Amino acid sequence: MIYLDTSVALAWLFTEDRQPPVSLWDGTLVSSRLLEYEIWTPLHARGLADSHGGAARQLVGRVALLELTPRVLARALDAFPGPGPLRTLDALHLASCAYLADQGQAVELASYDRRMNDIARAMDIPLFDTEES
């Protein structure tokens, strides 16, 4: 199972220079419900909702969205290991990823955010290789 961080989703959606490998899309994708909001906010801000909306809906439709349950929210209140500081939404994503791992799910984090990756490593959450092979 691959936990899809917004940085990877937006890189694909906006066709940025760095793109996730095709193998990412072959895996089972999961993310926090935050992903949907973090995709649509920049689309609206850049005036791209009409041109990119269909691709955004298709992308979100491929991802199992994890709700921000009280247990996930409680974990986000705790301290995170590794270098700080951690941004609020990143803490919620990492808490969601940790929740899946705590439930016995084999989950890898796919993120371009170096700070988030460093903290995930400190939490013993494996990273999905987001570089093209």
**Which 8-state DSSP code applies to residue 127?**
B
6-13 vs 49-61: helix crossing angle, rounded to 10? 130
Q: What is the CA radius of gyration of the chain?
A: 14
The pTM assigned to this predicted structure is: 0.94
* 17-21, 48-52, 91-95, 129-133: the lowest-pLDDT one: 129-133
Contact 39, 132 (CB under 8 A): no
Residue that has been written with the tokens 């016995």 in this structure: 104
Domains and CATH numbers, the chain: 2-122 (3.40.50.1010)
Per-residue pLDDT tens over the stretch 115-126: 999 999 999 999
H helices present in 16-109, as ranges: 22-26, 34-45, 49-61, 70-77, 88-102
Per-residue pLDDT tens over the stretch 27-40: 999 999 999 999 99
Which contiguous run of DSSP H or E holds residue 59?
A: helix 49-61
Which contiguous run of DSSP H or E holds residue 49?
A: helix 49-61
